[in-house]
Structure 1
Amino acid sequence: MKTIMHLLSISLLKSYINESERKSGWQDKIIYQLLTNLATNKIWKYGRVGFFSHDSFKIQNGLLWSQRENCYVGYLDFKNEMQEFQMFAIQCQQELESTPIESNFTYNFMSNKQEFELATQVHQIVWHSTTHNFAFPISYYGINNITAHNLNTLIFSLAAKLECIGIHTIGSVCDGAEENRTHIKSFNCKFLHPVYNSYELLANYKTINPITGEDWFFINDPTHVFKKLRNNLSKSHIDEKNAREIMFNGKEISWKHIKGVYEYTNQHATAKATKLTK
C-alpha cells in the first residue's frame, strides 16, 4: 500500500498549521488566533467590522472525507491499488455507521438524516475586514448538500460568536449557487420581521441581523455575477427554445447587438470596438 495522506483545504493549511486541531466546525482556539492576528496587523475599531464570504468546494476525485477523523483521506498513487482503496472506503463507511449519533452532533449538523455519510464537498466560511486587506478562515464543514435553513443557522451562529469578542459582521458574500439564492430569498418574507418597516424588507439584498438588530447585507460575488450576465446575454434571442431577455431602463440588451457591432467592426476600418473577437 502506498503512503496515505491526510490534508485540509489549502487556505486552512496556510492559516492553521500547528495552530488548530485537524477538525471541522467551530474551534475555541479560533478566537485567540483571530484576535492575535488582528492585533499583529494593528487592526482596531472600524477595522474589526467585516463580512463573511462562504463557498462550497468539491472534494477531489480519489479523496474521501472521514467524518470520524474530520479530514480528507486519500492515496497518493492509485495505479495498482484500486481494490485496496475500495476496501478502505468500505471500512470508513462501516466505522461511520457504527459511530454514536449523540457524540457526533457536529459532524451531522449539515444533514437532516440521522446517519453519517462520506462528504462530497467542503463548505468554508472566511471573515474579511471591510477597511483592511485582512481575511481569516473561521470554520469549514464536510457536507453533501446544504439547505437554506442550515446555512442561515450556521452564518448567524458564527456571527454571534464573533460579536461576543468585539468583532462585528454586517453581511455575507457568496456565489449564485441554488442553495445561496434560496438562503437569501428566505429572508424576503414579511412575516419574518413583523416589527420592522415592511417597505424596507422588499429588497432581498438585506435583512435584519438577529444578533444586533442592524442591517445585514447579502452581496453576490462580482465574478459570478458577470459570469451569469455573460451566459444570459449569450443566450438572448439566439434560440427560440432558450431565449433570455435582459432589460435596462426599459430597453432591451441582446446578443444580437454585440454581434452587430462585431460585424460592423469587420466591415469598417474606422470601427472603434477593435477588441471584439469571434
Structure 2
Amino acid sequence: MQRAADVAGAGTRPPKRQGGDPKAGARPAQPSNRARARVKGHTGDPLASTASPDFAPDVYILRVRLEETGEVFRVANCRNDMTVRELKEELDLMVGIPFNLQRLHFLDQGTLMDDATLKFYDVIPGAVISLCIWHYDGWTELVLAAVEGDPSKMSCLGISEDTYYRTANSQHFKGEQWRQWTAQRAFVALYISAHRGHVDAVQYLLELGANCLAKSPLGRTPLHVVAAMGRTDCIQPLLEHGASIHDKDLKNDTPVTIARRLKRGNLERKLFLLYWMIKSGNRNPNLAGRDASEKSTRGL
C-alpha cells in the first residue's frame, strides 16, 4: 500500500486523496492478510472475541493512542462508514494535534488513507488505533514541547523570526517565506498548548506574537479546542489578544456551538461573559454578564 505523502505543508489543507493512487478512481490497496487474520482471531489477538466489522453496532467507541506520549483517548460515535479523514477531524479537537500533522495506523496496515472507511481496514469496536506525528520539518519535537507546555523548549524550535533553529526544509527561507514558516509553528504551539490547558505557555506564545486568529487546515482557532476541552483558564488571554467566539470552522461550528454540543455549559457561559467584558471594556462581571445575556437572547 502506498503510504501517505509526507510533503503536505503544515499550513495547507491536505489533498482529498492523501496518500492514494494519483490516477483518478484508483482503488486503494487491500489490507494485508496478516491484518485480516489478526482481526478475525487467527493469531490469538485479544480483539478476536469482538464482533467482526460486518456485525459491528451502528455507533461504537474506539481508542486512539498518541504514540509519542503514550496517551490514550476515547473516541465515541464511530461508525463503519466513517472515513479516516472524519476520524482525524474528530481527533483534531480531542487530541489537539492539527489534522495535517496526524498519521494513523491500525495493526500492520501502514498509514491509513483519508478516503478509506474504517470498515475497509477491518477496524472493530473497542480497537486501538495508533496516532503518530509526521516527523518532517521538526514537527515532532515542537508538538511534544507544546504538549508539555514548556516555553523554554518551544522557544528553541523555530517559533519566532529571530530563532537560530533550522530544518532541511527551512534553512534557505528568507523574508516573507521565513516569517510565514515561523508564524505557522508558533500557531501550532499555541493550538496544542491551549488544548492542554497550559495557561503560562499560552500567555508566553501570545506575547511572543503567536496569532490566535490564525486557523488550522480545518478552520479552527485555539479557542475552538479550548471550548472542546473545557479549558476555562485559557479563555481570557485568548480573548484579550483578539480571539472571537464567533469564528466558524469548515463545519460552521463556533467555539460556542462546540461547547454547547459537548455539554460544557459553564464554559459556554464564561465565553459569553468574558467576551462582553472585553468588548465593552467593563470589568464588572455582573454588568457584563447582563449585557451578554441580553445579546444572546436576541440571537447574536
Structure of greater Rg: 1
Q: Which has the higher contact order (CA 8 A, sep 6+)?
A: 1
Using structure 1 for the length normalisation, give the TM-score: 0.32
- Relative to its length, the structure with more helix (as a share) is 2
Comparing both structures, which one devotes a greater share of its residues to strand? 1
TM-score, normalising length: structure 2: 0.31
